[in-house]
């Protein structure tokens, strides 16, 4: 249940901004904050829900008591399934339900404030340009095809050749997303124009941003999203993202 009151979005742009804020919060819960999220979902507690908030934060809480609720509610009782399945499968399941909830909230606002056909279509197109939460947390976002191929190529070069951006070691190749190769298929090339996608926030790659790649899952992240600076990255031989580090600790 949301404890803080947020402005009610009334235009397509405001609804999309609300969507992006809630989405960012949910991605944090299921990636960089996954250990905290996991421990809050105690199966011994009552029915719990995962809420994404417009200010890019998240909370695990009991469902609202009002019937019907002011906004559509997320999946109920996510904590009960936590210990009955593999952690990654549980996280993926929560991600799918979170994607469904985000869509329902966005189109609830659209219906409430009388969005017409063109407004609904524009809202959906804006939402559809972003990877789903499921795609982000499972590594199935759009960038995976080109990014994985180029990343593997740069790693293979480290033994007998030189990385494109470094003559001394492969570390530099970890610190900025690899260039996209031209695709023979026109449709594929058009689809991949979005470029790389951050494994934490889901936003696309910007040429002026510092990125780093996880050596375990091979996902790319904004340095700011995982709190790694270029200077700090220079001293990291094998980088593991928060999710991979957390998974290792939980298995231990």
Task: Read off the pLDDT of residues 109-120 as tens digits, 9 standing for 90 and up.
Answer: 999 999 999 999
- Asked if residue 235 has pLDDT above 60, the reply is yes
Residues 43/82, Cβ–Cβ less than 8 Å? yes
Which residues, 6+ apart, have CB-to-CB distance to 245 below 8 Å? none
What gap in Å lies between CA 36 and CA 58, rounded to an integer? 11
Please give the pLDDT value at position 210: 84
Tens of pLDDT, residue by residue over 74-113, are 999 999 999 999 999 999 999 999 999 999 999 999 999 9
The rounded distance, in Å, linking the Cα atoms of 223 and 209 is: 8
Alpha helices in 66-116 (DSSP H): 87-112
| pLDDT given for residue 133 in this prediction | 96
Cβ-in-10-Å burial (0-12, 13-18, 19+) of 117 comes to: exposed
Q: What is the mean pLDDT of residues 51-78?
A: 92
- End-to-end alpha-carbon separation of the chain, Å? 33
Query: pLDDT tens-digit profile of 134-162?
Result: 999 998 865 444 444 454 444 444 444 33
* pLDDT recorded at residue 144: 43
Which pLDDT score is estimated for 35?
94
For helices 87-112 and 242-251, what crossing angle results, to 10°? 140
- What's the rounded Cα separation, in Å, for the pair 197 and 145? 12
pLDDT value for 156: 41
232-252 average pLDDT score: 74
Q: Mean pLDDT across the chain, nearest whole number?
A: 79
Task: Please report the pLDDT score of residue 223 as a whole number.
Answer: 85
Q: How confident is the model at residue 207 (pLDDT cuts 50, 70, 90)?
A: low
- pTM strictly above 0.75: no
Strands of the chain (E only): list them. 49-52, 58-61, 211-213, 220-222
> Please, what are the domains in the chain?
12-138 (no CATH), 211-247 (3.30.40.10)
Indicate the range of 14-23, 63-72, 168-177, 209-218 predicted with least confidence.
Answer: 168-177
Residues 23, 102 contacting (CB under 8 angstroms): yes
pLDDT band at 231 (very low <50, low <70, confident <90, very high): confident
Residue 34 has pLDDT above 80, yes or no: yes
Higher pLDDT, 230 or 155: 230
CB 17 within 8 A of CB 38: no
Strand-pairing partners, residue 51, are: 59
């Amino acid at each position: 249940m949301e404890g803080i009151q947020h402005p009610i979005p009334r235009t397509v742009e405001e609804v999309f901004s609300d969507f992006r804020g809630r989405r960012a919060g949910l991605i944090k819960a299921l990636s960089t904050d996954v250990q905290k999220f996991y421990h809050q979902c105690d199966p011994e507690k009552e029915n719990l829900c995962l809420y994404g908030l417009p200010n890019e934060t998240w909370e695990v809480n009991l469902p609202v008591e009002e019937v019907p609720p002011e906004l559509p509610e997320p999946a109920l009782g996510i904590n009960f399934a936590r210990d009955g399945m593999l952690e990654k499968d549980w996280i993926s399941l929560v991600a799918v339900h979170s994607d469904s909830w985000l869509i329902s909230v966005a189109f609830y606002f659209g219906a409430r404030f009388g969005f017409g056909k063109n407004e609904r279509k524009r809202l959906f197109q804006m939402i559809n340009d972003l990877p789903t939460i499921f795609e982000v947390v499972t590594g199935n976002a759009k960038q995976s095809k080109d990014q994985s191929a180029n990343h593997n190529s740069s790693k293979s070069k480290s033994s007998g050749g030189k990385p494109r951006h470094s003559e001394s070691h492969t570390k530099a190749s970890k610190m900025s997303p690899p260039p996209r190769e031209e695709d023979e298929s026109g449709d594929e090339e058009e689809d991949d124009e979005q470029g790389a996608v951050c494994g934490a926030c889901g936003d696309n790659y910007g040429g002026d941003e510092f990125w780093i790649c996880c050596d375990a899952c091979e996902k790319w992240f904004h340095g700011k999203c995982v709190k790694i600076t270029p200077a700090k990255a220079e001293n990291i031989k094998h980088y593991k993202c928060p999710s991979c580090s957390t998974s290792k600790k939980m298995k231990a």
